[in-house]
Amino acid sequence: MILGIDEVGRGPWAGPLVVGACVLNGAHIDGLTDSKKLSKKKLSEYNARIMNSQASVSLGWVYSYELDEIGMSQSLVVATKRAVDQINVPYHEIIIDGTINFLAGTTKEHYVTTMKKADLLISSVSAASIVAKVARDAYMEQQHELYPAYGFDSHVGYGTARHRTAIDTYGVTPLHRLSFAPLKKYAKLHKKLDSPAQAITSTSIGQTGEDAATVWLETNNFHIVERNWKTKRCEIDIVAEKNDCFYFVEVKHRTDNQQGGGIAAVTPKKVKQMKFATEVYLAYKKLSNIDMRLAVISTTSSPAVFEEYLELS
């Protein structure tokens, strides 16, 4: 019962840092290895096998604005803590890929062994590496839809020639890490804020909540059909599909649970609105005789992390 830890996204110029955590719980998945050694097809296959097994998996995200504020070293610590705090099954040892104990100073530090190339040697670390990479790549592919000129779907934020050319032509996006040396000149063009919290508007909070919900859906083998589908009369946060069933997902974000969490915000009136929006969507898309469900995902914290999934019908 080893809790494996590995990170993805330390080197890119844009996008989040993601730490994966995994306890395999006795799952036997042959061929697990470092995610960097696997093709995109193999990554997807192994990710599905991991997520469909009895393994317990979680992800810790640190977004670019946080990384710029606290630096890479502290971001690795924060992302690791966020990932580990979501694991709710027993384990007797924590193995972190690399040489640094990111849980030093916590109650878990004495459970930690650091190991070079652990993602090649320890199955649970390999699994953590795979789920983190698949989730981060999926996130960057979503960002490509918002910023198509940058090619995030191909280089996922690394400083490739195409990426550098796009930055020289169009400047930087909110995804870019302005603390990285090649991008520091752009930091002077942006208003400095006293803290990351000041940069978070209600719109950006909703966006990161939907990002976290999308990542959870994709890592659980849902296919994202639409995001932020709108008409003048209604809107749907996420339309997803799995096993030939359509899921119409409302995303509710709360910075804390003092108000009962996001699920508590789904009132009977809200359910009625969701049903109406679904009917409009089906009419617009000329869909009929399909299996469908209404669902809610609640997210919490800042940046947003997945909290709960609930099917309403």
Per-residue pLDDT tens for 193-210? 333 333 333 344 445 688
Q: How confident is the model at residue 255 (pLDDT cuts 50, 70, 90)?
A: low
Q: Rounded CA gap, 187 and 189, in Å?
A: 5
Q: Which of 66-70, 272-276, 280-284, 305-309 has the lowest mean pLDDT?
A: 305-309
pTM over 0.85? The answer is: no
**The pair of three-digit structure tokens given for residue 65, joined into one six-digit string:** 């604005």
Which pLDDT score is estimated for 92?
A: 94
**The pair of three-digit structure tokens given for residue 304, joined into one six-digit string:** 């947003």
The tally of CA atoms less than 13 A away on the side-chain side of residue 236 is 26
What fold, for 2-142? Nucleotidyltransferase; domain 5 (3.30.420)
Which pLDDT score is estimated for 262?
A: 56
What fold, for 200-311? Trna Endonuclease; Chain: A, domain 1 (3.40.1350)
Amino acid identity for residue 36 in this structure? K
Which pLDDT score is estimated for 196?
A: 35
Q: Do domains 2-142 and 200-311 have the same CATH topology?
A: no
Encode pLDDT of 131-174 as tens digits: 999 999 999 998 888 888 999 999 999 999 999 999 988 888 88
Q: Are 35 and 129 in contact (CB under 8 A)?
A: yes
Q: Rounded CA gap, 170 and 168, in Å?
A: 6
* For the chain, domain boundaries: 2-142, 200-311
Name which residue leads in pLDDT, 81 or 171: 81
Q: How many CB atoms lie within 10 A of CB 151?
A: 17
> Does residue 257 have a pLDDT over 90?
no
Amino acid identity for residue 89 in this structure? V
State how far Cα 152 lies from the chain centre: 15
- DSSP secondary structure letters along 100-131: --TTTTSTTGGGEEEETTHHHH-HHHHHHHHH
**The pair of three-digit structure tokens given for residue 141, joined into one six-digit string:** 């592919």
Q: How confident is the model at residue 191 (pLDDT cuts 50, 70, 90)?
A: very low
Which pLDDT score is estimated for 302?
A: 61
Segment (H or E) for 82: helix 64-84
Q: Rounded CA gap, 132 and 138, in Å?
A: 10
Which pLDDT score is estimated for 48?
A: 93
Segment (H or E) for 179: none
Q: Is 77 helix (H, G, I), strand (E, B) or coil?
A: helix
For tokens 């955590």, name the residue: 21
Q: Which of 46-60, 71-85, 263-277 has the lowest mean pLDDT?
A: 263-277
Encode pLDDT of 56-75 as tens digits: 999 999 999 899 989 999 99
> Does residue 128 have a pLDDT over 70?
yes
> Does residue 85 have a pLDDT over 70?
yes
Q: How confident is the model at residue 211 (pLDDT cuts 50, 70, 90)?
A: confident
- Burial label, 108 (beta-carbon count in 10 A; 0-12, 13-18, 19+): middle
Q: Which of 40-49, 91-100, 126-135, 266-275 has the lowest mean pLDDT?
A: 266-275
> Does residue 306 have a pLDDT over 50?
yes
Name which residue leads in pLDDT, 206 or 176: 176
Q: Are 164 and 181 in contact (CB under 8 A)?
A: no
